[in-house]
């Protein structure tokens, strides 16, 4: 028996699951199966076997062996909500916010999403790729193996297409697994009316995106001042006609009805949820929608954190993503998101790790191949620096604890 890669003496192999386990909800989120003093074998980009060191087969030969003494091995994070294709950062707005402006004030003054759109429209596809690739590598180095990337800073047919093509090229040029989402309904461009823009989305953008098979999903910023629940439903139904399943920006700034329209239209996930109450929790309980929180955005915009604890107590599953974007969450660091969920939403490390791996994989339909240490799944894992326990990862927030990254069976980053 020969394998490409053998990891030995793993202090804790985290998130070990049987095939067929797709998501954790409610009380089950507190369970995080960890195998101590373990080995793991990888062959031809897949996880082949694992077990305790005492059961390591003597006849096993490996082309490469990594000794993981004192280190933990995690499945790579799955980041199910990002906007990491963008032209430029927006720290001038950050300073405006420090001085008292709100996200809404900045958007109303032509900043925010429209600011990002102006910058993106002036770049060629190659230039946009060149600016986005370093962000893809940044998240790889911080432990992410699969990522959802949205459009929404183009706001014209050609610029939305450009963004999605860049997202597809990131999938070709890096070892990340990428899912793409069309978010033409992110904001209304200043040179048109909302009604006219919605017509452009439905009649031109969605067919053009579908023609090139550029998007797996459709998203709408359902929010006061952006798109109403009725408009959201109309846009989402148009996307569904082209096989793009919905996922929504819901209840970020106000209790704007996003959760209800997400459930009604069969969304895979409703994301943000800073402004929900018991009514929305009850609606979610009757659905298969994955509620997703984005703690980086809540922190950065000084919003109330979503009621993650209450959602789990109500029996719901919960997913955690980064929302990596220039306006409301300029970090794609999933270890930090896990830490924020523990500190600000009172999730335990077990719950938060489930939320950032198997549940986010479920949210972007990757749980058959990613999100856990399971025989036959893609070998997407990271090896930590020496740590006393897996809870040290969220505890030591802000530390870079991801040491080696293995994606599709190959070591792609070493600190």
Nearer to ligand NIG, 123 or 393 (CB): 123
| 324-383 binders of ligand NIG (CB under 6 A) | 325-328
CB of 231 to Fe ion, least distance (A): 18
Question: Are 207 and 242 a contacting pair, CB within 8 Å?
Answer: yes
Strand 269-272 versus strand 34-43 pairing type: unpaired
DSSP-based three-state secondary structure for 246: strand
CB of 83 to ligand NIG, least distance (A): 6
Burial class of 391 by CB neighbour count within 10 A (0 to 12, 13 to 18, 19+)? middle
**Interacting partner of 362 out of Fe ion, ligand NIG, none (Cβ under 5 to 8 A depending on kind):** none
| DSSP, residue by residue, 268-290 | SEEEE-TT--HHHHHHHHTS--E
Q: Alpha carbon 336 to chain centroid distance?
A: 13
Nearer to Fe ion, 280 or 323 (CB): 323
Nearer to Fe ion, 159 or 323 (CB): 323
Residue 173: which residues within 8 A CB-CB, separation 6 or more? 129, 133
Instruction: Please pick, from the candidates 76, 80, 82, 116, the single residue that binds ligand NIG as defined by CB under 6 A.
Output: 116
Question: How many other CB atoms are found less than 10 A from the CB of residue 289?
Answer: 24
Helices 125-141 & 157-173 angle (0-180, nearest 10): 40
Nearer to Fe ion, 154 or 349 (CB): 154
CB of 273 to Fe ion, least distance (A): 12
Nearer to ligand NIG, 175 or 258 (CB): 258
Question: Are 61 and 373 a contacting pair, CB within 8 Å?
Answer: no
Query: What is the 8-class DSSP label of residue 390?
Result: T
**Interacting partner of 378 out of Fe ion, ligand NIG, none (Cβ under 5 to 8 A depending on kind):** none
**Interacting partner of 221 out of Fe ion, ligand NIG, none (Cβ under 5 to 8 A depending on kind):** ligand NIG
DSSP-based three-state secondary structure for 222: strand
Helices 334-345 & 349-356 angle (0-180, nearest 10): 140
CB of 323 to ligand NIG, least distance (A): 5
Q: Quick check: 93 binds Fe ion (CB under 5 A)?
A: no
Stretch that binds ligand NIG, among 111-119, 206-214, 227-235, 330-338 (CB under 6 A): 111-119
| 245-274 binders of ligand NIG (CB under 6 A) | 249, 252
**Interacting partner of 6 out of Fe ion, ligand NIG, none (Cβ under 5 to 8 A depending on kind):** none
Nearer to Fe ion, 274 or 323 (CB): 323
Question: How many other CB atoms are found less than 10 A from the CB of residue 207?
Answer: 13
Binding mask 315-344 for Fe ion (x = CB under 5 A): --------x---------------------
Question: Are 380 and 42 a contacting pair, CB within 8 Å?
Answer: no
Question: What is the spatial distance between Cα 355 and Cα 248, in angstroms, rounded to a whole number?
Answer: 18
Binding mask 208-237 for ligand NIG (x = CB under 6 A): -------------x----------------
Question: Are 296 and 336 a contacting pair, CB within 8 Å?
Answer: yes
Binders of Fe ion: how many residues, by CB under 5 A?
1
Tokens of 24: 């954790």
Q: Quick check: 119 binds ligand NIG (CB under 6 A)?
A: no
CB of 272 to ligand NIG, least distance (A): 7
Q: Where are the beta strands (DSSP E) in 68-135?
A: 72-75, 77-79
Residues that bind ligand NIG (CB under 6 A): 112-113, 116, 221, 249, 252, 297, 323, 325-328
Residues that bind Fe ion (CB under 5 A): 323
């Amino acid at each position: 028996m020969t394998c490409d890669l053998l990891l030995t003496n793993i202090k804790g192999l985290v998130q070990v699951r049987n095939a067929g386990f797709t998501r954790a909800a409610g009380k089950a989120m507190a369970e995080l199966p960890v195998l101590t003093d373990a080995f793991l074998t990888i062959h031809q980009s897949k996880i082949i076997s694992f077990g305790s060191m005492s059961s390591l087969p003597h006849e096993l030969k490996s082309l490469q062996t990594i000794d993981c003494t004192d280190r933990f091995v995690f499945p790579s994070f799955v980041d199910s909500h990002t906007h990491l294709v963008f032209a430029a950062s927006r720290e001038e707005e950050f300073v405006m916010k420090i001085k008292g402006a709100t996200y809404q004030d900045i958007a109303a003054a032509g900043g925010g999403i429209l600011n990002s759109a102006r910058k993106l429209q002036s770049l060629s596809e190659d230039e946009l790729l060149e600016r986005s690739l370093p962000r893809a590598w940044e998240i790889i180095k911080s432990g992410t193996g699969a990522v959802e990337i949205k459009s929404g800073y183009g706001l014209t047919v050609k610029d939305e297409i450009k963004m999605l093509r860049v997202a597809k090229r990131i999938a070709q040029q890096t070892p990340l697994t990428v899912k793409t989402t069309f978010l033409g309904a992110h904001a209304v461009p200043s040179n048109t009316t909302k009604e006219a823009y919605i017509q452009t989305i439905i009649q031109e953008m969605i067919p053009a995106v579908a023609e090139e098979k550029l998007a797996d999903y459709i998203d709408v910023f359902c929010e006061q001042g952006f798109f109403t629940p009725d408009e959201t439903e109309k846009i989402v139904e148009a996307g569904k006609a082209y096989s793009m399943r919905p996922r929504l920006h819901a209840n970020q700034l106000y209790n704007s009805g996003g959760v209800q329209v997400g459930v009604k239209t069969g969304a895979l996930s409703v994301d943000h949820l800073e402004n929900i109450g018991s009514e929305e929790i009850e609606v979610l309980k009757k659905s298969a929608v994955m509620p997703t929180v984005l703690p980086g955005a809540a922190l950065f915009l000084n919003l109330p954190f979503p009621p993650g604890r209450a959602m789990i107590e109500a029996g719901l599953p919960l997913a955690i993503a980064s929302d990596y974007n220039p306006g409301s969450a300029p970090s794609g660091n999933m270890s930090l998101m896990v830490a924020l969920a523990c500190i600000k939403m009172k999730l335990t490390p077990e719950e938060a790790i489930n939320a950032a791996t198997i549940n986010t994989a479920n949210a972007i339909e990757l749980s058959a191949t990613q999100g856990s240490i399971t025989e036959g799944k893609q070998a997407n894992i990271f090896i930590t620096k020496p740590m006393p326990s897996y809870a040290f990862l969220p505890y030591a927030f802000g530390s870079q604890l991801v040491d080696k990254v293995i994606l599709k069976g190959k070591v792609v980053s070493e600190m």
